[in-house]
Amino acid sequence: MTRRKILFVGVVGGALLLGACAGSSPDTAATTPPTTEVSQPAATTTAPPAGEPAQVSEVVEVSIESFLFGPADLTVSVGDTIRWTNNEAGIPHDTTADEGLWESATLRPGDQFEFTFTEPGTYTYFCSIHPNMRATITVTS
């Protein structure tokens, strides 16, 4: 009886040993590829930040005063934002694109309106309250 138990343990122990041996070589093989994969995403992650600083978008100010947009002719890049500010005391103005791309609310003195340009082109706009107030924004790619 006692002998049988020992035999049994011996067989199980041998099976475990075999299993450990068989498992150890695929384990080593599986450990090697992840090491290679880890360095690849790291290289991929480095690329986008390098591309981003190239297209830094700006906020370009346009002042509304003396019944004029200043500057009246402006060239910006795609992605840039124009920020209009009504700097004329006591006079409301707005900024309205001829083609309807943007239309601000009435800007009271001190109010601002922003619009970001996503397409290149030439955009003319005016103040709908004083339609003779006209200006142009050229957007380059």
Which residues contact Cu ion (rule: CB under 5 A)? 93, 127, 129-130, 133
State the minimum distance, in angstroms, from the CB of residue 101 to Cu ion.
Answer: 18
Report the nearest approach of Cu ion to the CB of residue 111 (Å).
Answer: 12
Beta strands 81-86 and 59-65: pairing type? parallel
Residue number, 79 or 92, with CB nearest to Cu ion: 92
Smallest separation, CB 61 to Cu ion (Å): 17
> Which runs of consecutive H residues, i.e. helices, occur in the chain?
2-51
CB closer to Cu ion out of 60 and 129: 129
Rg of the Cα atoms in the chain: 35
CB 66 within 8 A of CB 42: no
